[in-house]
Amino acid sequence: MKKLVLTIILGFCAAFTFAQSNPSFSPATFTAEDEVTITLDVTGTGMAGQTDVYLWMFSNDGVGGGKDALTNGQWGSSSEAAKMTRVAGNVFTFKFTGTTLFGQSPAELINFGFLGKSKDGTKQTQDFKPFKFDPLVFTASQFRVFPSKMDFTDMATVYFHQDLATDQNLQRMFDVKVTLTFYSDAIPQTVVATRNALVATKESNVLYSYSFIPERLITLPAGTKLGKFSYQFTGSIKDANGTNVPTSGPVTEVSYTVFN
């Protein structure tokens, strides 16, 4: 009986541990000029059980202009400056400031990623990426979301600024609609629901928007939380014969913030 109770308690503890976001950051949101502490639990990775974990970090994954962290050292011999601090068992922390770590300006830094490794590079975790730096300056773009950070219970409004579109089809697009796809916060994130052809509000000749609260659009299964959503503006253009032809913009993903 005691074993059964102990097993159940341990099971709950394990489930609770995995339910926490890993890695986590303090503060939860930060610019490239803020000091950030990464907390990484290497349980279940190739580094589980190791006492020394070194970070291999890189900037601007998938967006161009990326660099390796100045603290990385060589793959076969990590720099001591990249060593994480062990706080308990498989849990390690590392403190850094983006601009100092990558030697790049706040305007250059968009996101970063990392993995944990042994000093000699024979063991490693999977990649953890990408994690966005908050911008320090506002940059106008053809697509944006308001507010810039939200959780899945908040009202979100997605915008398409047609006057800022660089693609000719998007510049000419009419009958503008939105496709929204919602993803769970579980790992891996799975699609919870998709809503197509939601008619966008024409706020002006060059601005379209669509506002929504997820639970007003989709039915969330009990206990399901959303981790992110994606949006895509779609519509029509005229071909050479004057016939309407469907066209669409890129898919943009928005991660939900966890408030506390």
Partner 1 sequence: MKIIKYIVLALCITSIYSCKPEEFGPIGEEENIVKSLQGTWGLTKVTQKDEDAATKGFPYKELDITNVYAYKDLVIALQGDAAGTPTSFIITQGNSPKISDFNTGTWTVDNVKAPTVINLKSGTLTSELTLGSYAELKTGKFYLKKVKKSNGKAIVSYTYQFTKK
Name the residues that contact partner 1, by CB under 8 A.
26-29, 134-136, 138, 144, 146-151, 154-155, 157, 211-213, 216, 257-260
SS (H, E, C) the chain: CHHHHHHHHHHHHHHHHHHCCCCEEECCCCECCCEEEEEEECCCCCCCCCCCCEEEEEECCCCCCCCECCCCEECCEECHHHECEEEECCEEEEEEEHHHHHCCCCCCCCEEEEEEECCCCCCECCCEEEEECECCCCCCCCEEEECCCCCCCCCEEEEEEHHHCCCHHHHHCEEEEEEEEEEECCCCCCEEEEEEEEECEEEECCEEEEEECHHHHCCCCCCCCEEEEEEEEEEEEECCCCCEEEEECCCEEEECCCCC
